[in-house]
Amino acid sequence: MKTSAEKSVQHDTSICFLNGNYIPLKDAKVSVLDRGFIFADGIYEVIPAFAGKPFRLEQHLKRLHDNLTAIKINNPYSNKQWQVIFTNLISKNNYPDTDCSVYLQVTRGVAKRDHVFPDDSTATIFAMINPLLPANPDILARGLSVIIREDIRWQYCNIKSISLLGNIILKQEAAENNADEAILVRNGNVTEGAASNVFIVKNNVIKTPPKDKKLLPGITRDLIVEIANQQGLNCIEENITEDELLTADEVWLTSSTKEVAPVCFIEKKPVATGTPGQHWAKMYQLFQEYKDSLK
């Protein structure tokens, strides 16, 4: 008997990329000895594509390359070859005019189980396309609600590791508390969300934690900082204490799938007035204008 989750995969008609071949997602198979399955020995990327065009592709490919280098896997393709794979996937899945996201995963490949890296394994390369829905206007108007949790994850959160157990446990806790995200705190300082980066605004100053090993260098985060600087807004990259988070005028979350979203409730208490702030509204508009400028 198949579960409903298995059936939905069975009926998926999308085309994915697996080790050089474009095949139906439902037929894509990887060995149980793949080190991605056995050890979560791999990294991933999520790249949004608006109207068929991968967004901030150069930055995503640089992070992919940095991540592969960090875990000592050779980058299997040049940037040009990656771009061709993404473009093919977008057109084969009929997304050339609408928004979607590319999920890409590279693992160290198949080998006899041994913690030490094998000398001769071939990386497993997988990519698929997911629909990317525009932010729900009702949710943007209401704002997100979050919980705060201790950052229980490892010491290399700058690597986009497929080992996401810490993140999913925290995100699940958010869901069980009817919240959209968990904002994580390590040694009294905000690091990031379980699947997003964090910004606050206080007295017209926009602030986000500096990039280090405690958080993922989000592509959306970097773009928000870039836009703020271009616009002459006061934006600083400094530690945010838990107290600063709780007393902020505005709190935002950023990610490739959320773009920039306002947080209006933290642990069920309102952020300032409990409605999306004016700085968020301005940044949201600037972000949309930036997207439109690339079309």
Which chain residues interact with ligand PDD by CB under 6 A? 46, 167, 192, 195-197, 216, 218-221, 254-257
Catalytic choice (160, 171, 207, 214): 160
Nearer to ligand PDD, 111 or 140 (CB): 140
257 vs 275 by CB, closer to ligand PDD: 257
CB of 197 to ligand PDD, least distance (A): 5
CA distances from 5 to 10, 102, 129, 165 (A): 9, 21, 18, 20
| In the complex, least distance from residue 119 CB atom to ligand PDD, rounded to whole angstroms | 31
- Side chain identity, residue 74: N
- Residue 74: which residues within 8 A CB-CB, separation 6 or more? 68, 123
- Indicate the residue among 93 and 256 with the shorter CB distance to ligand PDD: 256
Nearest distance from C-beta of residue 218 to ligand PDD, angstroms: 3
Residue 102 CA to residue 257 CA, distance in Å, equals 11
| DSSP β-ladder status, 235-237 and 205-208 | parallel
Q: How many CB atoms lie within 10 A of CB 134?
A: 9
- CB nearer ligand PDD, residue 93 or residue 220: 220
Least distance CB 18 / ligand PDD (angstroms): 20
**160 assigned to active site:** yes
Q: Which residues contact 16 (CB under 8 A, 6 or more apart)?
A: 22, 23, 24, 25, 28, 89, 126, 127, 128, 129
Nearer to ligand PDD, 125 or 182 (CB): 182
User: What sign results for the dihedral spanned by CA atoms 221, 225, 228, 230?
Assistant: negative
Min dist CB 39 to ligand PDD, Å, is: 19
Across the chain, the runs of DSSP E, i.e. the strands, are 15-18, 21-24, 42-50, 53-54, 100-107, 124-131, 144-150, 181-186, 189-193, 197-202, 205-208, 235-237, 250-255, 259-266, 269-270
CB 184 within 8 A of CB 190: yes
**Annotated active-site positions, please?**
160
